[in-house]
Amino acid sequence: MNQSKTKPAEGKLGIMIVGNGAVATTFMTGVFMARKGLTKPVGSMTQYDKIRVGKGQDKKYLKYDEIVPLTQLKDIVFGCWDVYPQNAYQAAMYAEVLKEKDIEPVRDELEQICPMPAAFDKNYAKRLDGDNVKQCNTRWEMVEMLREDIRRFKAEKECARIVVLWAASTEIYVPIEKKVHYRLADLEAAMKANDRKHIAPSMCYAYAALSEGAPFIMGAPNTTVDIPAMWELAEKTHMPIAGKDFKTGQTLVKSGFAPIIGTRCLGLNGWFSTNILGNRDGLVLDEPENFRTKEVSKLSTLETILKPDVQPDLYGHGNDEDTQYFHKVRINYYPPRNDNKEGWDNIDIFGWMGYPMQVKINFLCRDSILAAPLCLDLCLLSDLAARAGQYGIQRFLSFFLKSPMHDYTQNEEAVNNLYQQYTMLKNAIREMGGYEADEEID
């Protein structure tokens, strides 16, 4: 009999979401509808996937909640922060991701979710202009207000545990500054000194969450928790962190298709990715400084899978220096599409004797429809990790993220190969369920 040391999922789990836009309202509506038996949580690994445990005659394929004690959908309570004061029902209708017939049956539940004033700095998202914001003199004051929000929500909703999820816009790019971001003491000093250049609002949410005993998940490509000071805080508070950037459409395709090229030992001259999307995310990313944050996140995936230094004949040619294939990512704001993003990939490959070939992928995806189940899985699995006594960087959650967190100070490289990530995920679930982590990651 397996012996799991993971604590049971007793009581309510509060999921506090930063942002009450398309992703957040699609996530909340889907959970409410699924609870009523009016829809199915398609796309959610925690609700559908089955993992093998044991080998030979002892082999069984079990759902996650048959292996580990997962929080049930009926025990989830939602709260949120947003710069706009509209409740979740109004925000869901405004987002126009879901049809009215899929929102109305849970209107009462959605109307009860009213956003708390957001910790916001317009310099970090110049295209947003809401008035439901906190008045903070310093970044430290911002942290204290957010901590109070978490404590109050937890008490009022009688939650046993909290998870904080960032589903808000992409902030402008914040380069990592050793003097501020490497040590927790320096980060705290910068917050108290109101260093607005190096301390993004998202860092205040992360700091507040971890300090209040809540795992933090970064769903955007912001420089928030991928800094050593936050890892130090996560170790100190014994809390899991995961991030960053939900892997929904184009990057999911990239992390799944690039291993096909690599495994088959085909060459790559270039990979051009472009997207068109509307919605608030597209609006924010239309600002060059915000796009830079996203670009860094999306570019990193390919380079860790197809490596010129390992296979120079296959991946060492194509750019101006002739040192690596050419890789370009573009995002274009196009309001008519709203949440229905379109991603094009043009992949120039070559084969036997250097003869060229092309692969073209056109993914007409719905961003929030792909992101909502990731939100559910990341929240449930982060809560699970906390109950299993796991803290700090949760590498097993890299399956769900464009930029898996990794310790670059030790020259660690992120694992971006989708199939290797899936193995890490399965092994972690096995271990937390008291089974042997029996798959190799080659």
Over residues 61-90, the pLDDT tens digits come to 999 999 999 999 999 999 999 999 999 999
Average pLDDT of the residues in 149-177? 95
What is the spatial distance between Cα 18 and Cα 15, in angstroms, rounded to a whole number? 10
User: Is the pLDDT at 341 greater than 90, yes or no?
Assistant: no
How do the domains of the chain map onto residue ranges? Answer: 12-246+369-432, 250-366
User: Is the pLDDT at 294 greater than 70, yes or no?
Assistant: no
Residue-wise pLDDT tens digits, 101-151: 999 999 999 999 999 999 999 999 888 888 999 999 999 999 999 999 999
User: Among residues 256, 192, 197, which one has the least CA distance to residue 416?
Assistant: 256
- Strand 50-53 versus strand 60-63 pairing type: antiparallel
> Of the ranges 140-144, 301-305, 381-385, which one carries the lowest mean pLDDT score?
301-305
User: Is the pLDDT at 421 greater than 80, yes or no?
Assistant: yes
Mean pLDDT of all residues belonging to the chain: 93
Assign domain 250-366 to its CATH superfamily.
Dihydrodipicolinate Reductase; domain 2 (3.30.360.10)
DSSP, collapsed to helix, strand or coil, labels residue 389 as coil
> Of the ranges 37-46, 124-133, 320-329, 395-404, which one carries the lowest mean pLDDT score?
124-133
Q: Is the dihedral of CA 131, 135, 138, 139 positive or negative?
A: negative
CATH architecture of 12-246+369-432: 3-Layer(aba) Sandwich (3.40)
User: Is the pLDDT at 3 greater than 80, yes or no?
Assistant: no
CB distance 97 to 22 below 8 Å:
yes
Residue-wise pLDDT tens digits, 256-292: 999 999 999 999 999 999 988 876 666 776 677 666 6
- Look at residue 286 in the predicted model and tell me its pLDDT: 66
User: Is the pLDDT at 366 greater than 60, yes or no?
Assistant: yes
What is the spatial distance between Cα 16 and Cα 150, in angstroms, rounded to a whole number? 8
Structure tokens at 276: 């068109």
DSSP, collapsed to helix, strand or coil, labels residue 320 as coil
- Look at residue 1 in the predicted model and tell me its pLDDT: 44
CB distance 424 to 405 below 8 Å:
no
- Look at residue 297 in the predicted model and tell me its pLDDT: 59
- Look at residue 406 in the predicted model and tell me its pLDDT: 87
Average pLDDT of the residues in 155-164? 98
User: Is the pLDDT at 298 greater than 80, yes or no?
Assistant: no
User: Among residues 280, 276, 300, which one has the least CA distance to residue 362?
Assistant: 276
What is the spatial distance between Cα 49 and Cα 100, in angstroms, rounded to a whole number? 29
What is the spatial distance between Cα 133 and Cα 113, in angstroms, rounded to a whole number? 17
Provide the 10 A C-beta neighbour count for residue 213: 14
Q: Is the peptide bond before 244 cis (omega within 30 degrees of 0)?
A: yes
Cα atoms in the Cβ-side hemisphere of radius 13 Å centred on 423: 10
Q: Is the dihedral of CA 195, 200, 201, 203 positive or negative?
A: negative
Provide the 10 A C-beta neighbour count for residue 389: 12
Q: Is the dihedral of CA 83, 87, 90, 95 positive or negative?
A: positive
What is the spatial distance between Cα 189 and Cα 140, in angstroms, rounded to a whole number? 9
Distance of CA 115 to the CA centre of its chain: 21
